[in-house]
Amino acid sequence: MAAEEEDQVEWVVEGIAEFLRGPDWSIPILDFVEQKCAVFDDEEENKLTYTEIHQEYKELVEKLLEGYLKEIGINEDQFQEACTSRLAKTHTSQAILQPVLAAEDFTIFKAMMVQKNIEMQLQAIRIIQERNGILPDCLTEGSDEVSDLEQEEMKILREALRKSKEEYDQEEERKRKKQLSEAKTEEPTVHSSEAAIMNNSLGDGEHFTHPPSEIQGS
């Protein structure tokens, strides 16, 4: 019986892992984390905003998991058992399950958000370096000691990077909408030209066509 239960748990863990790797889970989770991580830092003090964002994240996770569990016929008890099983505690499984565990554990959630914030800052720094060819001194000296001025520069840089990414995303969105708008307007223009030609043709015909009653009356 124990062997059957272990097989069942293994099946549940594998099924959950497969779902967590798929787009139905990863896309909305990644979108949420990327949009909300900018306010998270590694300071000990936890802001009220962190708690509010964590609650939003928890609701998103519950919604996504609820739909999946219903689809494959797993109840909440089976899910909890799978998440606390020996198989779920391996290094690989822990990495995959981290976004799920983060919904219940604020410490895991904050660490995940801080890590993503750092990753996005580094990505933005690489973009700036590619565009300008240089980086601020506080990022290139490689010293462990950072002066007050350099700390201030880093804060300014982080804010600039955040705005730069937002502007970049907004610009890409504007381009996409513009392309869609141009694609939509081209087709109606053609149709309106054809309609104008048809109307002109009909209008010309009205000058030469009279009802029989009008001809007799004249």
User: How does pLDDT run across 176-191, given as a tens digit for each residue?
Assistant: 788 787 777 765 554 5
Task: Tell me the C-alpha distance between 139 and 141, whole Å.
Answer: 6
What tokens appear for 198 in the block? 């048809």
pTM score of the predicted model: 0.57
Q: Residues 78-106: pLDDT tens digits?
A: 888 888 887 777 767 778 888 998 999 99
User: What is the C-alpha to C-alpha distance for residues 12 and 44, in angstroms, rounded to an integer?
Assistant: 36
Of the candidates 12, 94, 109, 96, the residue with the CA atom closest to the CA atom of residue 60 = 109
Distance between CA atoms of 123 and 206, rounded to whole angstroms? Answer: 68
Distance CA(157)–CA(108), nearest Å, equals 27
Q: Are 75 and 81 in contact (CB under 8 A)?
A: no
